[in-house]
Amino acid sequence: MSQLTIYAEDDSNTVLLSTADFAEISKTLGDAGIRIERWSADREITDDMDDETIIAAYQVEIDRLVTEGGYQTWDVVSMHPEHPKKETFRNKFLDEHTHSEDEVRFFVRGHGLFIMRVDSKVFSVLCEKDDLISVPANTRHWFDMGPHPTFTAIRLFNNPEGWVANFTGDEIASEFPRLEN
């Protein structure tokens, strides 16, 4: 179940809102300029599937997003609890950063935690299978896959180089709750 928790930017102990109601999540994030939608990830995805098979399974959804947003490239990011580099990847995404383009993810398996800083608030969004999230360009954010990651997401990019992060150097990410599976 998707979950939204909003904190005051300067106080990780003050919860301003906590909800699992998807209509409320969608409206609240939409008001902050963050897109989240519920799509149907109805094809079985397993740890051993290669990226091409996953992309082929969701080509219709990818084509819809490409038409909508003019994306030039896409890929699959997938993580499982036995992945030998899971800790390295988790740490890479845990530092606050921005991108010069929207960060678009369609979760087709598992879950992950996107945390965004907007208008003096911190929006923590537990995204699950079926969630499509788009973090607007230049939005300060970080991502936590947890210590035992289990997710597969299709990523779309306007930049042909793919995922390019601009790290802020701010330590704020360490002050807020993380995903502890």
The pLDDT value given to residue 181: 63
Number of domains in the chain: 1
Q: Give the confidence band of 155 by pLDDT, cuts at 50, 70, 90.
A: very high
What are the tokens at 140?
Answer: 């300060």
Task: Judge whether 43 lies within some domain.
Answer: yes
Q: Among residues of the chain, what percentage have pLDDT more than 90?
A: 81
Q: How far is CA 87 from the centre of its chain?
A: 17
The pLDDT value given to residue 159: 73
Q: Is the pLDDT of residue 154 over 90?
A: yes
Task: Judge whether 13 lies within some domain.
Answer: no
Q: How far is CA 26 from the centre of its chain?
A: 14
CATH, residue 46: 2.60.120.10
Task: Judge whether 178 lies within some domain.
Answer: no
pLDDT in tens, 103-152: 999 999 999 999 999 999 999 999 999 999 999 999 999 999 999 999 99
Q: Is the pLDDT of residue 163 over 80?
A: no
Q: How far apart are the first and last CA of the chain?
A: 14
- DSSP H or E stretch at residue 83: none
Task: Judge whether 161 lies within some domain.
Answer: yes
Which domain, by its residues, includes 87? 36-111+126-165
Rounded Cα–Cα distance for residues 99 and 163 (Å): 8
Task: Judge whether 69 lies within some domain.
Answer: yes
What does the pLDDT average to over 12-34? 97
Task: Judge whether 56 lies within some domain.
Answer: yes
Q: Over the chain, what is the mean pLDDT? A: 93
Q: Is the pLDDT of residue 92 over 80?
A: yes
Task: Judge whether 133 lies within some domain.
Answer: yes
Degrees, nearest 5: CA angle 35-75-64: 50
The pLDDT value given to residue 162: 62
Q: Is the pLDDT of residue 47 over 80?
A: no
Q: Is the pLDDT of residue 160 over 80?
A: no
Q: Give the confidence band of 48 by pLDDT, cuts at 50, 70, 90.
A: confident
What does the pLDDT average to over 151-167? 83
pTM for this model (two decimals): 0.93
Q: How far is CA 55 from the centre of its chain?
A: 18
Task: Judge whether 62 lies within some domain.
Answer: yes
